[in-house]
Chains A and B, each alone.
Chain A
Amino acid sequence: MVSSAEARQHSSLPQEIKNKIVIEELSVGYSDGTESLRDVSLAIPDHAITVLFGPAGGGKSTLLRTMNRLNDLADVISLSGHVWIDGVDILDPSVDVISLRRRVGIVFTQPVVLPMTIRQNLTYGLELAGERSRSRLEEAVEQSLRAAALWEEVSDRLDDPAIALSGGQQQRLCLARVLALEPEVILLDEPTSGLDPISTGKVEASLQELKEHYTFVLVPHSVQQAARTADYAAFILDGQLIEYAPGKQIFTNPQDQRTEDYVEGRFG
């Protein structure tokens, strides 16, 4: 058992970095008793890629989805603790979840494109938010596609059904769709697990390029991807935070035996 206090000891983050998200003693329980979180405390810095890694079913997705209250849709029976984003506790019932979700976007494991055209997929979120100006929507389409490195490939067929794109293109479209909303935080839940290595490389490259402007929280689909992409990395096992440190440190010199075992492939 590792207490949250201990976990915080492991997290030897440099103090001068601004923390975008601060998670404090977060516990989540589901009615069927699976994949819960216990007492997780974690500070996620701005303008960096923070990786949540660990074996499947450990609660990474839950942690991710709590950060934009998407977990409200699941049958959560118990929820305690705080998730501060820019100093506001987003778990507070009075928080406007809809504008929260516009600020904190998410990209899912499976690229789920909405059954519309490419353009409509990109403007969907903005239109819901009430944006009606054609020119601003057009601008958002182009900018987000360029940012997700998809513009060159699809600029001539924006009005085709999005489902016609390849898997890798669909996933980058999903990223672009989130970028179009100009969020502050982007959550990525194993975004490349269904993709071939080339597409995966493109997505990872986009992330590196974009991280100047966003806070990324990534659940990687492998330890290798975690090691490649992480500025900071948190090892999560059975609903608990085991270790949290800068990526370089956790993958080369883990402090906890379990982290070491996992990183070196002895289980998981």
Chain B
Amino acid sequence: MRRLRTASERNKLTQNIGFTGLRLAALITVVPIVLVVVYIFWQGSPAISWEFISGFPREGMRAGGILPAIVGTFWLTLGTGIIAVPLGIGAAIYLAEYAPDTNWTRAIRIAIINLAGIPSVVYGLFGLGLFVLFLQFGTSIVAGSLTLAIMTLPVIISTTEEALRAVPNSFRVVSISLGGSKWQTIRRVVIPQALPGILTGVILGLERAAGETAPILFTVAAFFLPRLPTSIFDATMALPYHLFVISTQVPGMPVQIQYGTAVVLLTFVLSMNTVAAVIRSRARARRQW
């Protein structure tokens, strides 16, 4: 074994070991992600058929399709978006453009940080307490959407605020100097420029909502409901909850169907992810500032 003579050789060696460690850690982080995605597609794609996607579950969910779950997740995501998107963008505009530097504004920020940190199952309890029981919406799409919307709010707010703040201030000053009011300036200059960032945030927020199970457990999700919801006060099946049910609650469940359901859920989530990534990279390429 050769002795290390100089400090610089020693430093070089430390650095090499350190960098190797970092690379290894990054690899350990990323490889499982790829494996998970590939494995699920590999195991589940044989189960995917038109009947699986468009059919109703049969034989205690052990056969047939998962249409009610797909439709339910679609409605829930839409409902979440309808509530959370305007509210979240509004709040972000307030924080980025209007909010004075006061204790109230700090309180809003702290509230948002806390909303982001509250465990999803606690949102479920809250939704049960307020929407299902107190407001008597029952286990329904409204109750679930409202619960998911409040949970999604912090994601939308923080990404939107970041996008708004990234718009150069000089645009605002110019617009105002040309006789623009504050809101005109925001609507005609700031928001159009921040739109790709806002969209990315909205999609990522809704993606999270679409994949959540705990908040919908007691607010909307039906264990087994082989029909499509007809009103927003109906309960519904939902993909993530369905996956939970068939992988833990139903004995003798064919693994194929479990993986098939996972594939559909994963596709749902990944396609939103991809759309967000595409919007972001196209906006970056086209940006004029």
A residues at B contact (CB < 8 Å): 68, 70, 73, 98-99, 101-102, 105-106, 108, 110, 112, 114-115, 124-125, 128-129, 161, 163, 174, 177-178, 181
Q: Which of A99, A105, A115 contacts B177 (CB 8 A)?
A: A105
- Asked if A124 contacts B178 (CB within 8 A), the reply is yes
Q: Which of A106, A114, A129 contacts B189 (CB 8 A)?
A: A114
- Asked if A128 contacts B178 (CB within 8 A), the reply is yes
Interface centre among B180, B184, B189, B192, by most A CB within 10 Å?
A: B180
Q: Which residues of the other chain, A, contact B193 by a CB distance below 8 angstroms?
A: 115
Answer whether residue B99 sits at the interface, using C-beta atoms and an 8 A cutoff.
Answer: no
Q: Which of A73, A114, A129, A174 contacts B179 (CB 8 A)?
A: A129
Q: How far is the CB of A265 from chain B (nearest CB, A)?
A: 31
User: From residue 46 to 93 of chain B, which have CB atoms closer than 8 A to chain A?
Assistant: none
Answer whether residue B175 sits at the interface, using C-beta atoms and an 8 A cutoff.
Answer: yes
User: Within the assembled complex, what's the spacing in Å between the Cα atoms of A106 and B184?
Assistant: 18
Q: Is the interface of A mostly helix, strand, loop or mixed?
A: helix
Answer whether residue B248 sits at the interface, using C-beta atoms and an 8 A cutoff.
Answer: no
- Beyond A128-B184, A161-B288, A163-B288, is A112–B171 a contact (Cβ under 8 Å)? yes
Chain A residue nearest to B101 (CB atoms) is: A75
Q: Which residues of the other chain, B, contact A105 by a CB distance below 8 angstroms?
A: 177-178
User: Within the assembled complex, what's the spacing in Å between the Cα atoms of A124 and B184?
Assistant: 11
User: From residue 183 to 227 of chain B, which have CB atoms closer than 8 A to chain A?
Assistant: 184, 188-189, 192-193
- Beyond A98-B181, A163-B288, is A112–B176 a contact (Cβ under 8 Å)? no
Known: A124-B178, A128-B178. 10 other contacts (CB 8 A): A105-B177, A108-B170, A108-B173, A108-B174, A112-B171, A114-B171, A125-B178, A128-B180, A128-B181, A174-B174
- Beyond A115-B193, A115-B289, is A70–B173 a contact (Cβ under 8 Å)? yes
- Beyond A108-B170, A128-B188, is A114–B177 a contact (Cβ under 8 Å)? no
User: Within the assembled complex, what's the spacing in Å between the Cα atoms of A110 and B168?
Assistant: 13
Q: Which residues of the other chain, A, contact B171 by a CB distance below 8 angstroms?
A: 112, 114-115
User: Within the assembled complex, what's the spacing in Å between the Cα atoms of A244 and B185?
Assistant: 37
- Asked if A125 contacts B288 (CB within 8 A), the reply is no
Chain A residue nearest to B171 (CB atoms) is: A114
Q: How far is the CB of B174 from chain A (nearest CB, A)?
A: 5
Q: How far is the CB of A169 from chain B (nearest CB, A)?
A: 15
Q: Which residues of the other chain, A, contact B188 by a CB distance below 8 angstroms?
A: 124, 128
- Asked if A99 contacts B288 (CB within 8 A), the reply is no
Q: Which residues of the other chain, A, contact B177 by a CB distance below 8 angstroms?
A: 68, 70, 101, 105-106, 108
